[in-house]
Amino acid sequence: MIADLILQLKDKIMFSALSWLYSKIIDQRNLRYEDGTFKSHALSVPVISVGNITVGGTGKTPLVGLIAEILAESGEKVCVISRGYKRANPKQRVLVSDGNEVLADVQNSGDEPFELACALLGKSIVIADADRIAAGKWAIEKFKVTRIVLDDAFQHRKISRDLNIVTVDATNPFGNEMTLPSGILREPIENLERADLFVITRSNLANDPASVEERIRAFNGSAPVIWCENRISKVTDLAEMSSGTNSAPESLKDRSLFGFCAIGNPNSFFQQLKMDGFNLAETKSFSDHHSYNQRDVDMLGERAKQKNCDAFITTVKDAVKLDQLEFRKPCYVAKSELIIKQKNKLHELINAVSTS
């Protein structure tokens, strides 16, 4: 037992040292941007960035989609640019959607760009490209876009932005407030001062949501804060997703369900299902952005049989990677809706972004 404690202490010291080193490297990088050694490059149209300061899911993808919709409704020609994490050929630019139709599959797009492309047909172009500057210039020239929305770009300081939005998950806002690998912070928490707007998600799932804003105010006293709740808005049979057929959530609430997902914060999805009245008999989480295969589905089928589950339920992000796989039991897809408490305020802030 003593030997185990010594090993645990050594691991803790090692990870703490690595976190300290990581923080110093990030601090030096940010300092180079602040003193002008590293340059941020502006595009010829307004740019809105949506990102976070932590690893794991904070609910930013639905927010990116909502912002694109707000801009499109205002008559703007919108383009969403995402890196497309864990996609095939990550250095290649992929036109996921030209705004009229989806032009690439999920493997080449990445799950989040593909999800956004499907949700924003008729409203936004979607591009997957690690080089946001080059992608933005190309979109402006080729499609004459008037607004660009960057997905997951708080740390991507090479490109200037007119509105810098940070999403914060109220259920686990900053972890232990340590940077990787000891904590979940991508950079020191003090850098919240760069944000122009905070959107706090999953406030209805948190025990003490007010404390989240209090912590934010310790580092940024001026940026507006907008609160969001998350709800299951509709449920679709995976086999019928392409047809757009929806099932009422209540129709599943008397069934024994097996929830699974591969997202950054899986517990928030399971917690949300339970809060919205779904009966979860079993759950299984995979690593974020996991690419499913038939073995995974077969394993889920065996566990569902053991637990006497009637059906599976998963997220939209997972569903885009499951359509070619065969389930032994029905699989349903739960779409989570962002409910903005200060909707008019968000619209005003988004539409106020201009070239001035």
Write down the pLDDT at residue 56: 83
Q: Kindly report whether the peptide bond that precedes residue 181 is cis, defined as omega within 30 degrees of 0.
A: yes
Burial class (CB in 10 A: 0-12, 13-18, 19+), 153: buried
Residue of 314, 310, 249, 301 whose CA lies nearest to 281: 310
In the three-class reduction of DSSP (H, G, I as helix; E, B as strand; rest coil), residue 126 is classed as strand
Task: Tell me if 165 sits within 8 A of 48, measured CB to CB.
Answer: yes
| Rounded distance between C-alpha atoms, residue 44 and residue 127, angstroms | 18
Identify the weakest region by mean pLDDT among 40-54, 226-240, 245-259: 245-259
| Rounded distance between C-alpha atoms, residue 236 and residue 258, angstroms | 15
Question: 128 - beta bridge partners?
Answer: 82, 94
pTM value is 0.93
pLDDT band for position 2 (50/70/90)?
A: low
Cβ neighbours for 347, distance < 8 A, ≥ 6 positions apart: 70
Dump pLDDT digits (tens) for 305-351: 999 999 999 999 999 999 889 999 999 999 988 999 899 999 999 99
Q: Provide the strand spans (E) within the chain.
A: 47-51, 78-82, 94-97, 124-128, 147-151, 163-169, 197-201, 225-237, 256-261, 279-285, 311-315, 331-340
Write down the pLDDT at residue 341: 87
Q: Which helix H or strand E contains 217, and what residues bound it?
A: helix 209-217
pLDDT band for position 247 (50/70/90)?
A: low
Q: Calculate mean pLDDT across residues 57-74.
A: 95
* Mean pLDDT (the chain, rounded): 93
Write down the pLDDT at residue 323: 86
Dump pLDDT digits (tens) for 263-291: 999 999 999 999 999 999 999 999 999 99
Cβ neighbours for 37, distance < 8 A, ≥ 6 positions apart: none
Write down the pLDDT at residue 95: 98
Tell me 95's DSSP state: E
For 116, the token pair is 């956004």
Task: Tell me if 85 sits within 8 A of 112, measured CB to CB.
Answer: yes
Dump pLDDT digits (tens) for 97-149: 999 999 999 999 999 999 999 999 999 999 999 999 999 999 999 999 999 99
pLDDT band for position 215 (50/70/90)?
A: very high
Write down the pLDDT at residue 356: 46
Write down the pLDDT at residue 174: 97
